[in-house]
C-alpha cells in the first residue's frame, strides 16, 4: 500500500494499482498521481514484471482532474498538471505494458489514463466522457494522447459535444481494445512469454513513429495555465469544488431554466406534469441513478439512507409511508426531468399534482435539487404524524351529483381534497364520515370507490397542524420565482411573482384543482402533456379530460376550500 487512496498488489509478472478514493470518484489528486508514478517506477524496477494494471474502485475508473487543485493554481507548470502530464508520457515510454481496466465511469483525466495506456479493457458498464468545456476548460493535457489513440476527428467530437460514449462506442473508435471478460488473464499469460527487454524496445521505437514532441506538451501546459487565469473558469471550478455538483448533471434546475429562458425554443404545445404521492412503486428510478451519481450521493447524505435501495428494493415496504415516499418521489421526478431535459426542448408549461408541485418548482428554478429535497423532507415529516382521517377516491358521478349525496347524508365534515376529473373526485375527512359515504355510494351503485393509502386526511381542514408545522420550517429556505411558466394545482393558474411561499404554506390544507390546471393548459393551446415521474396516472387523466367540463366551484363552508 502506498497511501489510503491507492492500493498496490503484486502477482507473477504483474503489478496492480487500484484507485481507491471512491468518495471522490477516484479523482486524480496530486497524491494519486504521485502514487501512480511511483507504482509505474516500481513495476519497471521489478525484473520479472511485464505489466502494470490500473483499475478503479467504487464503480468508477476516475472522474479526472482534481478541481480543487486547479482552483488553487496547483494544476499548472511545476505542480499537479505537469506531474500528470509526465505520468501520461511515462506510461507511453515505460518498459512494461500498461493496462487500464475500466469498469464504470472515466471522465476527463480518467480518459487520459486510458488513452496513454497500451491496452484498455472495458466492461459494458463503462462510460467515457470529456466534460471539460462545460466549465470553460479544454482537455489540454490529455488531447495529444487521445488524438494519437483515436484520431483527431473522434477526439474533437468527444471534446465539443461532451456526450458520454458507452463501451461499445469506445471499442469502435479505438479507445477500448476489448470487452472480453477473460481478456486480462489471457493477456498476462501471454506477456509472461515476452523477452524482458522486448517491451521497452518496442514501445520506444513505436513511440518515435507516433511521437508527441516536447513542444506539444509544453504548449498543453501553457494553454491550461492561460485558461485557469480566467475568472469565469475559476468561479465555475470553485462552485464545483464546494458543491461537488457536476455541470453535466445540470444539478440546479435554476441554471437549466436560465439557459432555456435565454435560448428560447420551448415547445408551446406541450406541458410536463409531475405526479405526487400514490404513484410510487418498487423499482422506480432504477435506470436513472447511475446517470446522476453526484445527485444520488447528495440525496443519500441528506436523507441518511440509500435512495437507490429505497426506490429499487423498497425494504420493509417503506415506500408506502409518507416519510419515505415523498422524498423518494421528489428525487425520482427530479432525475427523470433532468434526463428528459437532456433530450428534449422545454415545454410551454410545467405543473405538478400535490407533492409533484415541488418537482415542478424545482424544474422551474425556484430552488436547487438539495434545497428542494430538504423542503420535501420537512413536508413529509410534518405530514407523517397526521394519522387522523382518511381519503376516498370517488369515480363515476360528477361533482354536483356527489355533493348532492353528501348534503343528503349531512356529512358536512367532508372536504374535496382532489378534483382530478369531472367524474373523479377525492374526498378527505373523518374515518366514520368517509366510511358512511362509501357504504351509500356502493349500495346505490352510484360510483366506484377506492381508499387512498395515505397517512391522513390531507388537502383538507384536518391537515392544519401539519400545514402549520411546515409553514414554520419553510421559513428557513429561500424560494425564487419560477423562471418557466408553472401552473399551481392549488390555484389552477400560473404562479404570480412573489407567491411561491404563500402557495406552498397552504398547499397541505387546500384542494388539488387538477381539472382547473388541465383546463388552464388547454385554454393556452397545450395539446400534449407528459408525466415526468413513475407511472402514467397524469397521462391518463389528461387523455380522459374533456375541456370546458367545469371547474371546482366555490362552495360555502369547508367542502371546497378557497
- The residue count of the chain comes to 562
Cell (9 digits) for 250: 445540470
Report the alpha-carbon distance of residue 530 to residue 517 in Å, rounded. Answer: 14
| Catalytic site includes residue 230 | no
- Res. 413: pLDDT tops 70: yes
Cβ contact 329:354 at 8 Å: no
> Can you give the pLDDT at residue 60?
86
Those residues whose C-beta lies under 8 Å from the C-beta of residue 501, and which sit 6 or more positions away, are 474, 479
Cell (9 digits) for 436: 358512511
What pLDDT digit, counting tens, does each position of 7-56 carry?
999 999 999 999 988 788 888 888 899 999 999 999 999 999 999 999 99
**How confident is residue 285, by pLDDT bands cut at 50, 70 and 90?**
very high
Pick from 2-16, 161-175, 257-271, 293-307: least confident: 257-271
Point out which residues pair with 395 in neighbouring strands: 424, 448
The residue behind cell 450521493 is 297
Cβ contact 530:539 at 8 Å: yes
Q: Greatest CA span in the chain, whole angstroms?
A: 98
> Can you give the pLDDT at residue 266?
59
Report the alpha-carbon distance of residue 289 to residue 312 in Å, rounded. Answer: 10
> Can you give the pLDDT at residue 113?
96
Q: What is the mean pLDDT of residues 120-147?
A: 88
Point out which residues pair with 120 in neighbouring strands: 100
**Within its chain, how far is the Cα of 28 from the centroid?**
23
- Neighbour-count burial of 441, counting CB atoms closer than 10 A to its CB (0-12 exposed, 13-18 middle, 19+ buried): buried
- Per annotation, catalytic residue among 62, 63, 117, 354: 354
**Phi, psi for residue 487 in degrees, rounded to 5:** -95, 130
Cell (9 digits) for 348: 410551454
Report the alpha-carbon distance of residue 169 to residue 174 in Å, rounded. Answer: 9
> Can you give the pLDDT at residue 5?
84
> Can you give the pLDDT at residue 240?
63
> Can you give the pLDDT at residue 214?
78
Question: Higher confidence at residue 215 or residue 301?
Answer: 301
End-to-end Cα separation, the chain, in angstroms = 67
Q: What is the mean pLDDT of residues 125-137?
A: 86
Report the alpha-carbon distance of residue 166 to residue 178 in Å, rounded. Answer: 13
What is the model's pTM? 0.56
| pLDDT, averaged across the chain | 85
The secondary structure of the chain in percent helix, strand, coil, rounded to multiples of 5, reads 50, 15, 35
**Of 365, 355, 364, whose CA–CA distance to 332 is shortest?**
355
C-alpha dihedral (50, 8, 114, 45), degrees to nearest 10: -40
How does strand 486-488 pair with strand 105-107? unpaired
Pick from 70-74, 186-190, 418-422, 542-546: least confident: 70-74
| Catalytic site includes residue 354 | yes
Report the alpha-carbon distance of residue 203 to residue 185 in Å, rounded. Answer: 22
Give strand ranges (E) for 361-414.
390-395
- Per annotation, catalytic residue among 15, 60, 353, 459: 459
**How confident is residue 556, by pLDDT bands cut at 50, 70 and 90?**
very low
> Can you give the pLDDT at residue 562?
37
Those residues whose C-beta lies under 8 Å from the C-beta of residue 498, and which sit 6 or more positions away, are 481
Report the alpha-carbon distance of residue 362 to residue 58 in Å, rounded. Answer: 30
Give me the half-sphere count of Cα atoms (radius 13 Å) on the Cβ side of residue 106. 33
Q: Could you give the angle at the alpha carbon of 123 between the alpha carbons of 117 and 127, nearest 5°?
A: 75
Pick from 208-217, 275-284, 290-299, 533-542: least confident: 208-217
Amino acid at each position: 500500500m502506498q497511501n489510503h487512496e491507492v492500493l498496490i498488489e503484486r502477482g507473477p509478472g504483474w503489478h496492480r494499482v487500484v484507485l481507491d478514493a471512491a468518495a471522490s470518484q477516484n479523482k486524480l489528486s496530486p497524491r494519486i498521481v504521485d502514487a501512480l508514478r511511483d507504482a509505474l517506477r516500481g513495476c519497471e524496477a521489478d525484473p520479472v514484471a511485464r505489466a502494470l494494471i490500473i483499475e478503479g474502485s467504487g464503480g468508477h475508473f476516475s472522474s479526472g482532474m482534481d478541481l480543487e487543485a486547479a482552483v488553487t493554481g496547483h494544476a499548472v507548470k511545476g505542480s499537479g498538471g505537469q506531474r500528470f502530464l509526465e505520468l501520461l508520457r511515462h506510461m507511453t515510454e515505460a518498459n512494461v505494458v500498461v493496462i487500464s481496466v475500466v469498469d464504470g465511469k472515466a471522465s476527463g483525466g480518467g480518459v487520459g489514463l486510458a488513452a496513454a495506456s497500451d491496452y484498455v479493457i472495458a466492461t459494458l458498464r463503462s462510460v467515457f466522457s470529456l466534460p471539460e468545456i462545460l466549465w470553460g476548460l479544454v482537455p489540454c493535457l490529455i488531447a495529444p494522447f487521445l488524438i494519437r489513440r483515436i484520431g483527431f476527428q473522434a477526439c474533437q467530437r468527444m471534446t465539443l459535444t461532451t456526450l458520454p460514449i458507452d463501451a461499445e462506442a469506445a471499442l469502435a473508435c479505438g479507445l477500448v481494445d476489448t470487452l472480453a471478460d477473460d481478456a486480462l488473464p489471457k493477456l498476462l499469460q501471454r506477456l509472461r512469454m515476452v523477452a524482458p527487454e522486448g517491451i521497452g524496445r518496442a514501445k520506444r521505437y513505436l513511440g518515435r513513429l507516433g511521437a508527441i514532441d516536447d513542444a506539444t506538451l509544453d504548449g498543453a501546459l501553457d494553454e491550461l495555465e492561460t485558461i485557469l487565469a480566467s475568472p469565469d473558469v475559476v468561479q465555475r471550478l470553485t462552485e464545483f469544488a464546494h458543491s461537488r455538483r457536476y455541470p453535466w448533471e445540470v444539478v440546479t434546475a435554476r441554471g437549466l431554466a436560465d439557459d432555456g429562458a435565454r435560448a428560447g425554443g420551448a415547445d408551446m404545445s406541450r406541458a410536463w406534469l409531475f405526479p405526487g404521492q400514490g404513484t410510487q412503486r418498487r423499482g422506480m428510478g432504477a435506470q436513472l441513478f447511475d446517470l446522476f451519481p453526484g445527485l444520488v450521493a447528495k440525496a443519500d447524505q441528506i436523507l441518511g439512507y440509500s435512495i437507490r435501495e429505497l426506490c429499487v428494493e423498497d425494504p420493509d415496504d417503506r415506500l408506502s409511508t409518507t416519510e419515505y415516499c415523498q422524498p423518494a418521489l421528489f428525487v425520482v421526478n427530479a432525475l427523470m426531468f433532468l434526463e428528459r431535459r437532456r433530450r428534449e426542448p422545454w415545454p410551454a408549461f410545467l405543473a405538478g399534482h400535490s407533492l409533484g408541485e415541488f418537482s415542478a418548482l424545482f424544474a422551474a428554478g425556484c430552488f436547487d435539487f438539495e434545497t428542494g429535497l430538504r423542503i420535501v423532507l420537512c413536508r413529509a415529516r410534518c405530514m407523517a404524524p397526521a394519522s387522523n382521517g382518511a381519503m376516498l377516491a370517488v369515480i363515476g358521478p360528477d361533482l354536483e351529483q356527489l355533493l348532492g349525496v353528501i348534503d343528503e347524508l349531512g356529512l358536512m365534515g367532508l372536504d374535496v381534497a382532489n378534483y382530478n376529473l369531472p367524474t373523479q373526485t377525492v374526498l378527505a375527512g373523518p374515518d366514520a364520515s368517509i366510511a358512511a359515504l362509501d357504504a351509500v355510494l356502493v349500495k346505490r351503485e352510484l360510483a366506484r370507490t377506492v381508499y387512498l393509502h395515505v397517512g391522513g386526511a390531507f388537502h383538507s381542514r384536518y391537515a392544519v397542524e401539519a400545514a402549520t408545522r411546515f409553514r414554520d420550517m419553510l421559513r428557513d429556505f429561500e424560494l425564487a420565482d419560477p423562471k418557466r411558466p408553472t401552473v399551481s394545482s392549488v390555484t389552477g393558474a400560473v404562479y404570480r411573482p412573489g407567491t411561491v411561499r404563500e402557495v406552498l404554506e397552504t398547499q397541505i390544507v387546500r384542494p388539488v384543482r387538477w381539472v382547473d390546471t388541465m383546463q388552464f393548459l388547454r385554454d393556452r393551446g397545450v395539446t400534449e402533456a407528459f408525466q415526468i415521474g413513475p407511472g402514467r396516472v397524469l397521462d391518463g387523466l389528461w387523455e380522459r379530460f374533456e375541456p370546458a367540463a367545469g371547474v371546482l366551484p366555490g362552495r360555502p363552508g369547508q367542502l371546497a376550500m378557497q
